[in-house]
Amino acid sequence: MNKLKQLACVALAALYPLSSLAASLQVAPISVSFSPQEKAKEIWLTNTSERPIRAQTRVLAWSQAAEKDQVSPTRDLVASPSITEIKAGEQQLIRIIRIAPQNTAAEQTYRLLIDELPSSGQADAQTGLQLLLQYSLPVFMQPAEGIAARNGLTQLNLVDFQYRNSQLAVTNNAKSHIRISELSYINPNGEKIPLINGLVGYALAGQRMRWDVPQLKQMLPNGKFEARINSDGLAQTLPMQ
């Protein structure tokens, strides 16, 4: 019967509050950013269950091509320890260590993958399934000069936005990423229509990305789109082309 057991992987977006996730393996922080001078950063893994769990941590290079996310092996960063066992109710410190010199002219981007590993006796007695968690955290090596901010808002003069056929296209000509979330449409009468409450996505430096966006009947012509950029405290109007 053991051969009939299946492993199910539950991928958790690392951009939602961890308090909302009923997960035995929790991770903090959920995004990592290196300044040009920093050599290492810390991540904490927490086991909230009543049994030991094992986890594997690895770093992949993250790029975007043809409006899609791509990952590939890298030796620029390493995670230590790469495999660990965390006792019930305890924490484990993971260090993300920079190995290769940084190109400070443009931002370098990575994904930190944290996988819960299978263990014997963990499968559900009725279904034979093991629900294993995977976190994918963005890691940024900041350039010497990133996107400017003014009055607490990220400047978008180097970013082009287009909305066509129920899709939002973003071309980022800046030297660092932008993160888009909490997308809304504002009708000419001021009515606000939420479209995507959480994360829309990332547009990495020098890349173009496209996402599906609902076209709702409440959206009147000649309105405007509004979103929160990066970690800005407030949303701002997107300059549409």
The amino acid occupying position 146 is G
Domains 2-141 and 149-237 agree in fold: yes
Three-class SS of residue 4? helix
What is the per-residue pLDDT for 60?
Answer: 98
* pTM confidence score: 0.85
Answer whether 137's CB lies under 8 Å from 111's CB: yes
User: Is a pLDDT exceeding 90 seen at residue 44?
Assistant: yes
- What is the tens place of the pLDDT at every residue in 164-206? 999 999 999 999 999 999 999 999 999 999 999 999 999 999 9
Return the bridge partners of 170, or none: 161, 209
Q: What integer pLDDT is reported at residue 78 of this predicted model?
A: 97
Nearest-CA neighbor of 33 among 104, 92, 110, 91?
110
For residues 99-124, give the mean pLDDT. 82
CATH architecture of residue range(s) 149-237: Sandwich (2.60)
**pLDDT above 60 for 124:** no
Low-confidence winner among 87-91, 132-136, 177-181 (lowest mean pLDDT): 132-136
Work out the percent of the chain whose per-residue pLDDT is above 90: 77
Pick the more confident residue, 127 or 136: 136
Q: Are 114 and 134 in contact (CB under 8 A)?
A: yes
Q: Contact 184/195 with Cβ under 8 angstroms?
A: yes
Place of tokens 């939420």: 194
Q: Using an 8 Å Cβ cutoff, are 149 and 156 in contact?
A: no
Looking from the CA of 88 toward its CB, the CA atoms found within 13 Å total 3
pLDDT at residue 105 in the model? 84
Count Cα atoms within 13 angstroms, Cβ side, for 177.
23
| 29 cis-preceded (ω within 30 degrees of 0) | yes
* CATH 2.60.120.10 corresponds to the domain 2-141: no
Domain limits, the chain: 2-141, 149-237
